[in-house]
Structure 1
Amino acid sequence: MKQSAPLSRRELLRKSSLGMAALAIGPSLLSISRPLSAQSLAQIGPLQAPDENGIRLPAGFSSRCIAAAGQRVRRSFWNRTAYRWHSYPDGGATFPADDGGWVYVSNSETISLLGGGVSAIRFHADGSVNDAYRILGGTNLNCAGGPTPWNTWLSCEEIDFGRVYECDPFGKQPAQVRPALGFFKHEAVAVDDQFAMLYLTEDESDGRLYRFIPAGQHRDGRLNLDDGILQVAAVDEQGFVSWLDLPNPTPSLLETPTREQLPQSTAFNGGEGIWYSQGQIYFTTKGDNRVWQLDTNLNQLSVLYDAATAANPLLTGVDNLTVSSGGDVLVAEDGGDMQIVVIDAQGDVAPLLQVTGQDDSEITGPAFSPDGNRLYFSSQRGSAIFGGGKGFGITYEITGPFRDFVKL
């Protein structure tokens, strides 16, 4: 009997990609919380007058400043940690702790000589600050990134031929560079826990949308981010996506950039934040003020929001985004009206909050606490000393009845 030729490594990875969700990854590692049946945060009500921090919020919500660039992070008014918060805070996420508390991590979008990297704030279960510390240093222009289901933070360098670094939010393990995720001007990354893949955006006017297929998993259940196939999206007129293997995911300075290696791939005008939820990948492109939705089951891409054609175009300067436990997409504005705006399942658009008096800044790093009761974000160039939007950054926490908008 004639034997079939053995599959190449690339063929094996490609054929196994749809079955990777069936690996023994288990719900403890590869299960991001599923959206519950919920009321929309777009129904939360009108914004009130600015509070003492200059933030307009719906009735029943309040804000506090938890960190300011260059200042030691406070535990209380008289008690400060030893750690000085980084400048130009950008992408962020939260991670649960075993004691009921959590960690909020935040990138620093500046050069390594001025700090760079990633910082973290550790909270007690009651929401009070426990500690603050650095989890990544020596990197440049860490813009956004993304959390993994195994509770690490992927921090992206937004520089030519930039890298992705995997960080321990608790600061116990050193950060590791993940070259297999490509060398390009990274913006953000999201992990698809259904098919065990990663999606990445590129902040160039002719940037690409990328997909990474890991070469299996480690014994502890983490996906292998050191080996795999990096692909680029090619979108047809009906929005169906073909994924093309990149010839050279890690080009040197003298080699062809990833976005130019396959001319038949599709250009996106300034890729920004990206998030996975319920079989959908959501991402933004700042050059055309669009929010996109990729159905990972159908491999079909559509436009969820377009400021040029929207009936209610109150969202502009699209940037970082996250998805609530109720399935609402929250988009932060870079400029615009300095808002975080909600897009619900019906396509309704409404502001969740607005930062006033900081028009030269941008909102970054929106992330809910693990219990969904608090929302964190930064004003990247807010000034805690002089006010306005020409400073080095402020990080805020919003509390209020968020859970009223999730039907348990």
Structure 2
Amino acid sequence: MDRRTLLRATVLGAGAVALPFTSWSAAYAAAQPGAGPYGPLRSADAHGIKLPAGFTSSVVARSGHRVAGTGYKWHDAPDGGATFPDGDGWIYASNSEVPPPAGRGGASMIRFDADGRVTGAKRILAGTTSNCAGGGTPWDTWLSCEEIDRGRVFETFPKGGPAIARPAMGRFKHEAAAADPDRKVVYLTEDEPDGRFYRFVPDRWPDLSAGTLQVFCAGDGSSGAFTWEKVPDPGGAPARTRHQVRAAKPFNGGEGCYYAGGTVWFTTKGDGRIWEVDLGAGRFRLAYDDNLVKPGPAPLTGVDNLTGSSSGDLYVAEDNGSMDICVVTPSGRVSRFLTVTGQEKSELCGVAFNPKGDRLYFSSQRGRSGLITDGITYCVRGPFRT
């Protein structure tokens, strides 16, 4: 039984469905399956990927193999990822979710020129464990998060420099991070069946070495007002951070996290939900619930990593599910953007657009074999909406 099935068995999801990427007052119409913005998927290509017309895929890197044009062997179990501008080109950073024994995870980067050709690759974090998701920052660092009990956040420097542990951001089973430059905070998800949603408030933005860890507090429902309360002991020992504040709201298996325009979205894989937090209005609600899609079956299951495009579309990768990346549009339509075939023992992760928005990177963490040594990182090109 996979991780998501174990978590999902602990709860029966219930709630409403709402539109992402809309103003709070407009977000009450239900998001439902519909025709995608790019049309139906074609037959699988040479890489086993079903894509809409006009889109093509390529393999960027394979675990244990040298990244083309470099001497660097790509890490095992590629997971969360992000891109950063780099001169006329860009950098893609990726985590390595290798489980214990300790010290076998970390993160790597690949550098591309203006035409998308690989010009370099290297390790940017080593000696860590189960680096699952994470998040990029506006100052072009990658926050790599350990998904283990009392895990840490490491700030890494894809453009050069040694990684730095950031214990002030809390010691818990970290998943994803999303920087909010407007409020000068970083949001954090926790991958536990009773995980919490946090924010870290640095003493001096953007220095993450010191600050206050706060936890999201709200009632038992799926929508309403919320507040933030300080976590007394971010170190999480002996009491775990999620158990220190009585009013903290539990979320079933926190996964991906994404911030844009005054709203933060995060996924919970245990109940198949996307949550939407309107930070200006001080309100939260469901953006998606795979139990409530009609008619079924839901096109999006196994919600995991997510990112957004410049058009306002939300792209969500599946952990298991049917190995899809789905798109949720501002008009409230949920559809499959792509499907990876023949890799049912894997999961999709690391979704990230390059700075121009004409390439989407993602990984199949365990490829066709289902082994962590068989990960594949892909790039999809095509006429993405802007």
Q: What interval of TM-score do these two structures reach, taking the shorter chain for normalisation?
A: 0.7 to 0.9
Q: Distance in 2 between matches of 1:197 and 1:114?
A: 29
Higher relative CO (Cα under 8 Å, sequence separation at least 6) belongs to 2
Deviation of residue 124 (structure 1)? 1.1
Tell me the amino acid that sits aligned with residue 331 of structure 1: V
Which consecutive residues of structure 2, in runs of 5 or more, have no partner in the other structure?
Answer: 1-20, 23-33
Alignment length (residue pairs): 349
Deviations 1:381-404 (A, max 9, x none): 00xxxx4544520000001111xx
1:337 is aligned, of 322, 325, 349, to 322
Deviation of residue 226 (structure 1)? 1.3
The structure that has the greater radius of gyration is 1
1:181 is aligned, of 169, 194, 197, to 169
1:226 counterpart SS class = strand
Q: Distance in 2 between matches of 1:342 and 1:396?
A: 18
Calculate the aligned-residue CA RMSD, in Å: 1.7
Deviations 1:283-325 (A, max 9, x none): 0000000001101111211101000112252110000000111
1:357 aligns with 2:342: yes
1:72 is aligned, of 52, 66, 71, to 66
Tell me the amino acid that sits aligned with residue 132 of structure 2: C
- Map 1:237-316 to 2 at 5 A: 237=221, 238-252=223-237, 255-311=238-294, 313-316=298-301
Deviation of residue 74 (structure 1)? 0.7
Residues 1:204 and 1:48: Cα distance change in structure 2 (over 3 Å): same
Which residue number in structure 2 is paired with residue 393 of structure 1? 375
Which residue number in structure 1 is paired with residue 154 of structure 2? 165
Which residue number in structure 2 is paired with residue 205 of structure 1? 193
Tell me the amino acid that sits aligned with residue 157 of structure 1: E
1:215 counterpart SS class = strand
Q: Distance in 1 between matches of 2:64 and 2:35?
A: 34
1:122 aligns with 2:106: no
Which residue number in structure 1 is paired with residue 180 of structure 2? 192
Deviation of residue 193 (structure 1)? 1.6
CA contact (8 A) 1:83 1:132 kept: yes
CA contact (8 A) 1:108 1:118 kept: yes
Deviations 1:331-377 (A, max 9, x none): 00001110000011222101111100001100010000110010000
CA contact (8 A) 1:86 1:115 kept: no
Tell me the amino acid that sits aligned with residue 118 of structure 2: V
Q: Distance in 2 between matches of 1:82 and 1:116?
A: 19
2:46 is aligned, of 39, 47, 52, to 52
Q: Distance in 2 between matches of 1:316 and 1:351?
A: 11
2:140 is aligned, of 151, 164, 169, to 151
Which residue number in structure 2 is paired with residue 348 of structure 1? 333
Q: Distance in 1 between matches of 2:103 and 2:65?
A: 14
Quote the sequence identity (%): 52
Tell me the amino acid that sits aligned with residue 232 of structure 1: V
Q: Distance in 1 between matches of 2:304 and 2:68?
A: 28
Tell me the amino acid that sits aligned with residue 244 of structure 1: E
CA contact (8 A) 2:80 2:305 kept: yes
Deviation of residue 214 (structure 1)? 1.2
TM-score (norm 2): 0.87
Q: Distance in 2 between matches of 1:361 and 1:211?
A: 30
CA contact (8 A) 1:279 1:296 kept: yes
Deviation of residue 42 (structure 1)? 3.1
Which residue number in structure 2 is paired with residue 31 of structure 1? none
1:93 is aligned, of 76, 82, 87, to 82
Q: Distance in 1 between matches of 2:36 and 2:198?
A: 31
Tell me the amino acid that sits aligned with residue 149 of structure 1: P
Q: Distance in 2 between matches of 1:285 and 1:183?
A: 20
Which residue number in structure 1 is paired with residue 307 of structure 2? 322
Deviations 1:185-237 (A, max 9, x none): 000010112111111000000000001111123xxxxx121111111111134
Deviation of residue 251 (structure 1)? 2.6
Which residue number in structure 1 is paired with residue 57 of structure 2? 63
Tell me the amino acid that sits aligned with residue 43 of structure 2: A
Q: Distance in 2 between matches of 1:141 and 1:41?
A: 37
Q: Distance in 1 between matches of 2:236 and 2:41?
A: 48
CA contact (8 A) 2:103 2:129 kept: no
Tell me the amino acid that sits aligned with residue 251 of structure 2: F
Tell me the amino acid that sits aligned with residue 372 of structure 1: G
CA contact (8 A) 1:109 1:140 kept: yes
